[in-house]
Amino acid sequence: MSLTTTSNLIDGKQTAEDIKAEIAAEVAALKAAGKKVPHLAAILVGHDGGSETYVRNKVLACERVGFASTLLRYEDDITEAELLAKVDELNHDPEIDGFIVQLPLPKHIDPEKVIEAIRPEKDVDGFHPMNIGRMVAGLPALLPATPSGIVELLARQGIKTSGKHCVVIGRSNIVGTPVSILLAKNLDTANCTVTLCHSRTQNLAEICRTADIVVAAIGRPEFVTGDMVRPGAVVIDVGTTRVADATKKSGYVLKGDVNFAEVAPLASAITPVPGGVGPMTIAMLLLNTLRAAKGEIYPR
Ligand SMILES: NC(=O)C1=CN([C@@H]2O[C@H](COP(=O)(O)OP(=O)(O)OC[C@H]3O[C@@H](n4cnc5c(N)ncnc54)[C@H](OP(=O)(O)O)[C@@H]3O)[C@@H](O)[C@H]2O)C=CC1
Ligand SMILES: Nc1nc(=O)c2c([nH]1)NC[C@@H]1CN(c3ccc(C(=O)N[C@@H](CCC(=O)O)C(=O)O)cc3)C=[N+]21
Ligand SMILES: [Mg+2]
């Protein structure tokens, strides 16, 4: 048995704690200067188990850094018009610096319509087309939290990205597409050559094997297997799927998109699920809220 304590695990939880401590120090300074503390609001529609957990984690994280937070809950029979009216209330509430509408929404509500109704200045999810467009153009923007969290996590782990081939699996508007754009940017923390893969990609396993960095954002438990990963690659697992497990008190286990048992021994560095990308998402949401409150992106 080996006694070595070195590990290739990327500790997203600790990195997120570091970022939250930095935010808390800024909030303390704002308070000391007699200024208003940042205030995040979250709209949660319905009773999806995962959504409830994430929103609860966001509210707890606000408390941890000294933000004010408001959770607005609605039943899943809320009409689109009613939800849009709530969004507009928050848009015009001077107390609220930023807010999110937790996804997914019930089928009768068009998420694009709701996202477009959020004032870009308060869109701390970074999902509004104004923020996406500004990100693509390389202008200051409120950046989507999971993609910026991945870039920040690589940077704080000292993982070199410049010139590396990054294969992103999944092209959603909230993870795969924006992370591929950010990683390809001419930034010290990016500068990757990016390949964006999706369900129509041919020879996916072969393409993955050419990656220096794999980002898996698919939503299919243990999709990325050992044969898809080059020894020495860095593996970022975004997936968080609840899989039923009767042996657990909660009744489920959280599974990533990477077959951890197969891939971890090969990878030079790998994020666990839980404790990897998820906590970083929350830390970056708080950072966006601080930026919104300070009027950093859209001066007030
Ligand atoms: N940790 C965190 O902070 C976060 C975690 N997540 C998790 O990340 C995962 C992905 O979320 P999200 O991006 O919203 O998912 P979506 O369901 O919106 O997108 C999934 C993507 O994966 C692609 N895909 C599906 N099957 C395959 C396949 N067999 N081969 C290749 N590509 C495939 C789809 O392709 P196509 O476009 O062709 O359909 C699609 O682009 C989920 O588990 C989610 O819970 C999400 C956000 C934050
Ligand atoms: N408007 C909106 N914004 C989002 O950012 C958003 C969303 N909708 N809908 C769903 C996805 C998913 N998402 C996660 C956030 C944190 C964890 C997280 O903290 N995960 C913990 C574990 C949490 C648990 O125990 O379930 C971890 O990975 O360690 C996971 C997933 C944000 N999303
Ligand atoms: Mg989705």
> Around 68, how many Cα atoms within 13 Å sit in the side-chain half-sphere?
13
Query: What distance in Å separates the CA atoms of residue 74 and residue 155, rounded to the nearest whole number?
Result: 38
**ipTM for this model:** 0.98
Q: What is the per-residue pLDDT across 106-116, written as a single tens digit (0 to 9) for each?
A: 999 999 999 99
Indicate if 205 and 258 belong to the same structural domain: yes
Indicate if 81 and 173 belong to the same structural domain: no
Domain of residue 57 covers: 34-120
| Within-domain flag for 206 | yes
Position 212 confidence tier, pLDDT thresholds 50, 70, 90: very high
| Within-domain flag for 24 | no
CATH number at residue 251: 3.40.50.720
| Within-domain flag for 292 | no
* Nearest listed ligand to the Cα of residue 175: 1
What sign for the dihedral angle of Cα 201, 254, 271, 260? negative
CATH number at residue 90: 3.40.50.10860
Q: What is the per-residue pLDDT across 2-46, written as a single tens digit (0 to 9) for each?
A: 555 568 999 999 999 999 999 999 999 999 999 999 999 999 999
| Within-domain flag for 125 | no
Indicate if 187 and 272 belong to the same structural domain: yes
Measuring from each residue's beta carbon to the nearest atom of ligand 1, which residues come in under 6 Å? 146, 169-172, 174-176, 197-201, 204, 217-220, 238-241, 277-278, 281
Could you give the C-alpha distances from 73 to 43, 45, 147, 296, in angstroms and in order? Answer: 6, 6, 26, 29
Pocket test for ligand 1, best of 105, 199, 253 (most atoms within 8 A of CB): 199
Q: What is the per-residue pLDDT across 227-272, written as a single tens digit (0 to 9) for each?
A: 999 999 999 999 999 999 999 999 999 999 999 999 999 999 999 9
Indicate if 165 and 265 belong to the same structural domain: yes
Query: What distance in Å separates the CA atoms of residue 225 and residue 262, rounded to the nearest whole number?
Result: 6
| Within-domain flag for 165 | yes
Indicate if 150 and 274 belong to the same structural domain: yes
Question: Strand ranges (DSSP E) for 33-106?
Answer: 39-45, 68-74, 98-101
